[in-house]
Structure 1
């Protein structure tokens, strides 16, 4: 059991922190590619054409990594309670921690974004009272119910927070004998919701369909696989972790990476059918989430490949500040794209945006983390808190 002790002591295993860094940087890479004009990226190796464009185009899947990790980490205390290993987590304290995790950094950025808009364009750039209320409540969905977010990436925040709210209710499913019901509920929730959203918004923009389709019911497959991984982890002595040798866990990681690569290329070449209520619309994110969950379990089990990929210093640092990286990278990239010297380098814009955008984002994210996030995070780890 010693292999799992780091997670037991605080659930801050470096490999999981590094996976958060991977998720944030993957989303950054995707948006940098978009700001660069979505250039095709391919090269020849031994006479074969290697196409990397799918990995850039599917960078938004980094959000699914966040969802799986949240489903895994937040479900462990509830799964331990269901297993009789601890008292029931205090719901009020749990929710207070979640509020402290999400809202301070978001509100700080919202204030800065609105101040910048006011200074640049005057009072007309400020939202109406109704839209301001929607921003404060993170109601990012198609109008008239919601509002377009001032920062493109904000739309995923209410999805994550919605999961926080329903997790205490779903905790009754965090038992080995109910794992089939857990996945069935998560998958059926996703299928029904996405079918409804795809039908309702069939003539709307892609962005509106994305916003609607991936609200919490439509993303429960990703959270659900993370929750299932938590059940397997808590009951590891009797279930999945009979594969305890590092070489076995490395095989799991390799197979999971192959699944992720296959899913990425499947989505890339099947994108024309994705929004036509086709099978890929309902199977792609579950396949991706399954692969991510397998890497999570291999990583917490001590798999060497997972540690090599995600437990290195750079990825762990990126993971520590990953929330602020996620919040700040897009406005930084948009600003950099507007600079004359970046505009003048059309053929190399992606390289310039990455070389300048990654360090700049990490710097701003570090300031946000130390000045805003960490003071509130410390509230969460006080004894008895």
Structure 2
């Protein structure tokens, strides 16, 4: 069965189309919204990874953590994964060789990641002679290993970059398949993908060992005493010395295993097609936000296998599509403000540098003291300010110069050359984050 060009976009492999096509419109609201997702991750990490004692051992902390459990940060990661798929598809242009696409993606991910990892190594005093502690993380392969000592072995937030790299690797290979979906069946395809994710997580719940209750049973790892330690456990020498720290198989498969997260990226790709091909016309933020609130509230009453991502991917995709549709209609809002766009641009660096900053604050300011709730608030605000400043420096002095110097310009491919219709995002969308 064939389709007209109005229904199915042109093929994307072995194209010889010139790369002079104008880029698609920038979507500033999506860029600005990235900051809020990164901020959600920060709030959760500040609560868990700033070892402020005796606050973390108090009833007040327990109550706060009930309202800000792990799925708060996980929601931000889910948003980043869906958004990343959306951006990569949205930004395509004819004629980019596959090798150039891979080079640009590596340049976008690795330099900032390596700088953040280096800061963590210095801040935590990582024993470099133990390669298992840091090498898998530096190479971004650590999330493939079902051991918490490896997944969380260095700069903890970087686990999500492993899923990003898998998506980038697979995208040129799977894009022709995605483009075969007829326009009229895009919503059906997206729905089936969501149902597939739910079925996979149901299988993890039913047949993979792990916690089966509905409690938000995620808490910081505490050490004895009321004096704050100089190192949060994930940045301590005791952690680095462990030969193996087991992780719940169902948690690892459902949250950090890259193949399990891959459908979220492709839901973002399908969402981009829905918007581009005018199958998504809603510009009212209330419906997707309400759906997201309901789905997030439902994470309190479902098993752990469903808390971290499965329930949120559909409303996240609807939110991304609506924000994009609003930008295309010229409907401006807070997230499209230039200041928010700037915050969105630095959000990837902010996401990666926040934990090393917290390690430094813990080592030199928190360790050895005793602090209550106000003390934690003060240290969290300090971490927010320092992380933002460090992220701005990374973005302007590492990310932008590297991309400008080494990313290269798009040129039309010669006849028969392997290529994909891709280009890096417009400047307002550059630096897409994960999670």
Residues 208-264 of structure 1, C-alpha deviation per residue, up to 9 Å, x if partnerless? 64443233332244323311221122212xx323x5xxxxx1xx2111111111122
> Is residue 74 from structure 1 mapped to residue 88 from structure 2 by the alignment?
yes
TM-score (normalised: structure 2): 0.67
Whether contact under 8 Å (1:95, 1:165) holds in the other structure is yes
Whether contact under 8 Å (1:162, 1:216) holds in the other structure is yes
Q: Work out the number of aligned pairs and report it.
A: 341
Query: What's the counterpart of residue 47 of structure 1?
Result: none
Whether contact under 8 Å (1:140, 1:154) holds in the other structure is no
Where do 5+ consecutive residues of structure 1 fail to align?
1-7, 43-50, 79-85, 244-248
Query: What's the counterpart of residue 300 of structure 1?
Result: 327
Whether contact under 8 Å (2:29, 2:324) holds in the other structure is no
> Is residue 274 from structure 1 mapped to residue 303 from structure 2 by the alignment?
yes
Q: Indicate the SS of the match to 2:44.
A: helix
- Cα 1:341–1:221 change in 2 (3 A) is same
CA distance in 2, matches of 1:147, 1:137: 12
CA distance in 2, matches of 1:113, 1:208: 27
Query: What's the counterpart of residue 380 of structure 2?
Result: 354
Q: Indicate the SS of the match to 2:312.
A: helix
Alpha-carbon distance, 1:56 to partner: 8.0
- Cα 1:263–1:375 change in 2 (3 A) is same
TM-score (normalised: structure 1): 0.75
Whether contact under 8 Å (1:16, 1:310) holds in the other structure is yes
CA distance in 1, matches of 2:154, 2:388: 21
Q: Indicate the SS of the match to 2:88.
A: helix
Where do 5+ consecutive residues of structure 2 fail to align?
1-21, 212-244, 412-422, 424-435
CA distance in 2, matches of 1:353, 1:298: 39
Correspondences of 1:1-385 after superposition (within 5 Å) = 9=23, 12-34=26-48, 35=50, 37=56, 39=61, 53-54=67-68, 58-77=72-91, 87=94, 89-117=96-124, 120=125, 125-126=127-128, 128-129=130-131, 132-141=134-143, 142-143=145-146, 147-148=150-151, 149-171=153-175, 172-174=177-179, 175=181, 176-177=183-184, 179=186, 182-183=189-190, 186-187=193-194, 190-191=197-198, 193-195=200-202, 197-198=204-205, 199-202=207-210, 209-214=250-255, 215-236=257-278, 239-241=279-281, 249=283, 252-267=284-299, 269-270=300-301, 273-275=302-304, 283-302=310-329, 304=331, 307-338=332-363, 339-340=365-366, 343-378=369-404, 379-380=406-407, 382=409, 384=411
Alpha-carbon distance, 1:67 to partner: 0.8
Whether contact under 8 Å (2:156, 2:355) holds in the other structure is yes
Q: Quick check: which one's helix share is greater?
A: 1
CA distance in 2, matches of 1:342, 1:294: 48
CA distance in 2, matches of 1:137, 1:357: 27
CA distance in 2, matches of 1:11, 1:210: 39
Q: Indicate the SS of the match to 1:345.
A: coil
Deviates more, 1:139-148 or 1:213-222: 139-148
Tell me: higher relative CO, structure 1 or 2? Use CA pairs within 8 A at least 6 residues apart: 2
- Cα 1:33–1:135 change in 2 (3 A) is closer
CA distance in 2, matches of 1:190, 1:127: 40
Whether contact under 8 Å (1:16, 1:299) holds in the other structure is no
Query: What's the counterpart of residue 48 of structure 1?
Result: none
- Cα 1:112–1:33 change in 2 (3 A) is closer
Query: What's the counterpart of residue 3 of structure 1?
Result: none
Q: Indicate the SS of the match to 1:293.
A: helix
CA distance in 2, matches of 1:55, 1:262: 16
Q: CA RMSD in A?
A: 3.5
CA distance in 1, matches of 2:37, 2:191: 26
CA distance in 2, matches of 1:362, 1:146: 28
